[in-house]
Structure 1
Amino acid sequence: MDPLLLLFSLSAATCAYLLWFYLLARNLTGPKVWPVFGSLPYLFLNRKRMHDWIASNLCSTGGAATYQTCTIALPFLARRQGFYTVTCHPKNIEHVLRTRFDNYPKGPTWQTAFHDLLGQGIFNSDGDTWLIQRKTAALEFTTRTLRQAMARWVNRTIRTRLWVILDKAARDHTPVDLQDLLLRLTFDNICGLTFGKDPETLSPEMPENPFAIAFDTATEATLQRLIYPGFLWRLKKVLMIGSEDRLKKSLQIVENYMNEAIDARKEKPSDDLLSRFLKKRDMDGNLFPISVLQRIALNFVLAGRDTSSVALSWFFWLVMNHARVEEKILRELKTVLTESRGGEPKRWMEEPLTFDEAEKLTYLKAALAETLRLYPSVPEDFKYVITDDVLPDGTFVPAGSTVTYSIYSVGRMKAIWGEDCMEFRPERWLTAGGDRFEPPKDGYKFVAFNAGPRTCLGKDLAYLQMKSVASAVLLRYRLSTVPGHRVEQKMSLTLFMKNGLRVYLHPRTLA
């Protein structure tokens, strides 16, 4: 080809691209975008503080609480694979989660990224596959049998393990990583509830559990698939390097563990969730295959283990830094226990709270809800757009793009929660008299437990477990962080503390 013609063609193509890029970029309201790479450079630079970065981007929009960005600034791709609408506007969230629910499924990007880990389980499926699992699980979660089973697991774990470990640490004046203890506690509880198998990770020896370690590794590797463009993780998977290599090895351990649990339940059914799903049939009337049962159980473990333990970790950290809130929680505990167990403090600590006692702890529930407002266990969620749509605030979302709703950012918007939105104030969840828990009238201001048809089925059980554990710790001890310990967020599917929560335990004297 003639060199001049080649140069002219390249110049024309460059000019055409730059014009196209200018027209694209001028309509984007998020972080600055660059040719070809879009906003990926800023995403990479802020990967260790992603939730705060997204929140600051949304706060900078003022009351709009929505912005759009592009991570692949290439024609024919930018309006689909690389196009993100990020919002924390309650009306937009309601539109996505309820009003136009069918137009915003998990979608192919999320499902493909999570398929190796979660398969077609309830948290990674849409349509009929999701619906049959949802209906089956809904029937089980409304039974008193499940509540009683959960209460047995929680109370036994507190009484025979958590208190033993904490008492020894208090006597020896040695610090503990409270987040690690809580993860072990909720893991043992949810494994017991899901497939009747107690891994006993919470014990004085603090054993390493291959399944728990592999599960953590797999979720972290899966998150990386969501953060970066799909071709990157697919290439790593073909080459079997980095996070994809770790994911494959971890999943093998997870599957072996699940197979053992399923075989045990087939031989000896119990009242756990897995035993119940073994009897259920899919939309075609067939029993669920082993591969599906594995992923169904794994989905429940993911939901029940990480979310409650992470929420409790942030709760204890906030309470340690707000003496006024701690005092009000203790005052409420004394009132409830005096009514049910009498006025002798020694009797209050003989057994963990029953779920019926925990049910009466209104202020404690408010404090937990306030924790989840500021530090939701699942900080961001993603939805795929099936057909072109317009959000309630007027934002156009093209088919094939992604809507990200930032649960973490909702609680940090003055336009939504007021000027004191960054304050830890449980009273905002109570009636004027302070005697009744009162969620916001606009339910989509608080979606820590999701909302609409996908509202968390285990919400009430989660509150009861968290109240039982919080009471078990605060009645016996005053907590203080280890000097120099830094509390930071870890970039994961759930809002873990990067360095754990290292605390000293000081025996409490109740009067």
Structure 2
Amino acid sequence: VEIEQAKSEFDTQFLAPSIARRQKLIAESKNGGSENLPKDILTELLKNEDSLHLPHEIILKEIAFFLLAGAHTSATAFVRTLDNLFNWLKKHPEDAALITNDKSFVQRAMFETIRLNPSSPTAMRRALSDVTLKSGTIVPKNSTVTIDLMSINRSAEIFGADANEFDPHRQISTPNVAAWGLSFGHGMHACIGQELAAGLSERSEETSDYEFGLATVAVQAMFDRNVIADPSQPAKIDTTTKRPYWGSYHVLFEK
């Protein structure tokens, strides 16, 4: 009920006015001036509305999803990575130079953060055919499997005896395992915004166009400006959700 109410309010207050504005601009652009159209997903959906055959309800769900996946999750990873690095530096002050000079180190810290705290603690998949797992367990066709991401991402067998701890220097010896575990999913259903948020997973050589991801760049930019946690306003956990989100996190920039 709460989700449906929130969707309705989002539609009325934000989406419907945004659609009306873009439809007007799209109509005007047919006489020239398409370069002035907003370059966003909603505009592309509306420009191709006839061929896509998308009802308003589907557009509402898609835009609401992109708002969550494209902003909220990246912002959460950003703050959590800052917090983890603040705590790491208390015990490892020698790594301070790495944060400002080595973007790869910051990216690894962000990977660790996402591994320990995925945006969603579980993932669900439906079997399209009978599947036999490595353990011998048979997953029948059309059955739903719930994956406990919090547990698998902290497996000592895969990530080491200290799998529950944050360690930006962590080395993973298990083949075909991403540094972030299964937080972004895997295969054809992996998060489509993975490279935008977190960058590429492997760096074989120094290249100027290597993608580090938005969260990595933002975190390093904060440390470039000598960011510290505000001691006068301690961070507070969001008590309105069962998920471990920060409700407020104040920082200061030292000169």
Distance apart, 1:472 and its partner CA: 3.0
Q: For residues 439 and 304 of structure 1, what CA distance do their matches in structure 2 show? A: 31
Q: For residues 56 and 126 of structure 2, what CA distance do their matches in structure 1 show? A: 29
Measured at CA, do residues 289 and 483 of structure 1 come closer, stay the same or move farther in structure 2, by a change above 3 Å?
Answer: closer
Q: TM-score, normalised by structure 2?
A: 0.74
Match of 1:258 in 2: 15
Deviations 1:54-90 (A, max 9, x none): xxxxxxxxxxxxxxxxxxxxxxxxxxxxxxxxxxxxx
Match of 2:72 in 1: 306
1:397 pairs with 2:134:
no
Measured at CA, do residues 288 and 330 of structure 1 come closer, stay the same or move farther in structure 2, by a change above 3 Å?
Answer: farther
1:473 to 222, 226, 230: 222
Greater relative CO, 1 or 2 (CA 8 Å, sep 6+): 1
Q: For residues 326 and 451 of structure 1, what CA distance do their matches in structure 2 show? A: 35
Contact 1:365/1:467, CA 8 A, preserved across alignment:
yes
Contact 2:99/2:223, CA 8 A, preserved across alignment:
no
Contact 1:407/1:448, CA 8 A, preserved across alignment:
yes
Query: Residue type of the partner of 2:139?
Result: V
Measured at CA, do residues 439 and 309 of structure 1 come closer, stay the same or move farther in structure 2, by a change above 3 Å?
Answer: farther
Match of 2:192 in 1: 457
Measured at CA, do residues 407 and 416 of structure 1 come closer, stay the same or move farther in structure 2, by a change above 3 Å?
Answer: same
Alignment RMSD, CA only? 3.1
Q: For residues 231 and 140 of structure 2, what CA distance do their matches in structure 1 show? A: 48
Q: For residues 238 and 157 of structure 2, what CA distance do their matches in structure 1 show? A: 26
Paired residues for 1:251-400 under 5 Å? 251-256=7-12, 257-268=14-25, 269-280=37-48, 285-323=51-89, 328=95, 330-333=97-100, 335=101, 361-400=103-142
1:420 pairs with 2:162:
yes
Contact 1:329/1:363, CA 8 A, preserved across alignment:
no
Q: For residues 390 and 290 of structure 1, what CA distance do their matches in structure 2 show? A: 40
Q: TM-score, normalised by structure 1?
A: 0.40
**Alignment partner of 2:182: what SS?**
coil
Deviations 1:365-423 (A, max 9, x none): 01000111111122211123344432221112234532111221122211121112122
Distance apart, 1:276 and its partner CA: 1.7
Distance apart, 1:454 and its partner CA: 1.6
Distance apart, 1:474 and its partner CA: 2.2
Q: Where do 5+ consecutive residues of structure 1 fail to align?
A: 1-243, 337-360, 430-437
Distance apart, 1:328 and its partner CA: 2.7
**Alignment partner of 1:442: what SS?**
coil
Deviations 1:162-213 (A, max 9, x none): xxxxxxxxxxxxxxxxxxxxxxxxxxxxxxxxxxxxxxxxxxxxxxxxxxxx
Structure with greater Cα Rg: 1
Measured at CA, do residues 403 and 443 of structure 1 come closer, stay the same or move farther in structure 2, by a change above 3 Å?
Answer: same
Q: Where do 5+ consecutive residues of structure 2 fail to align?
A: 26-36, 199-212
**Alignment partner of 2:169: what SS?**
helix
Measured at CA, do residues 276 and 484 of structure 1 come closer, stay the same or move farther in structure 2, by a change above 3 Å?
Answer: closer
Query: Residue type of the partner of 2:16?
Result: N
2:247 to 497, 500, 505: 500
Distance apart, 1:298 and its partner CA: 1.7
**Alignment partner of 1:301: what SS?**
helix
Distance apart, 1:486 and its partner CA: 5.9
Contact 1:481/1:501, CA 8 A, preserved across alignment:
no
Contact 2:98/2:105, CA 8 A, preserved across alignment:
no
Query: Residue type of the partner of 1:249?
Result: Q
- Higher percent of residues as helix: 1
Measured at CA, do residues 426 and 439 of structure 1 come closer, stay the same or move farther in structure 2, by a change above 3 Å?
Answer: farther
Aligned-residue identity in percent = 24
Contact 1:319/1:326, CA 8 A, preserved across alignment:
no
Q: For residues 260 and 330 of structure 1, what CA distance do their matches in structure 2 show? A: 47
Q: For residues 500 and 288 of structure 1, what CA distance do their matches in structure 2 show? A: 36
**Alignment partner of 1:478: what SS?**
strand
**Alignment partner of 2:228: what SS?**
strand
Query: Residue type of the partner of 1:412?
Result: R
Q: For residues 161 and 232 of structure 2, what CA distance do their matches in structure 1 show? A: 32
**Alignment partner of 1:277: what SS?**
helix
1:441 pairs with 2:175:
yes
Match of 1:96 in 2: none
Contact 1:307/1:377, CA 8 A, preserved across alignment:
yes
Contact 1:385/1:400, CA 8 A, preserved across alignment:
yes
Measured at CA, do residues 372 and 439 of structure 1 come closer, stay the same or move farther in structure 2, by a change above 3 Å?
Answer: farther
Q: For residues 99 and 74 of structure 2, what CA distance do their matches in structure 1 show? A: 22
Contact 1:390/1:397, CA 8 A, preserved across alignment:
yes
Deviations 1:256-285 (A, max 9, x none): 121111111122232112112223368xx4
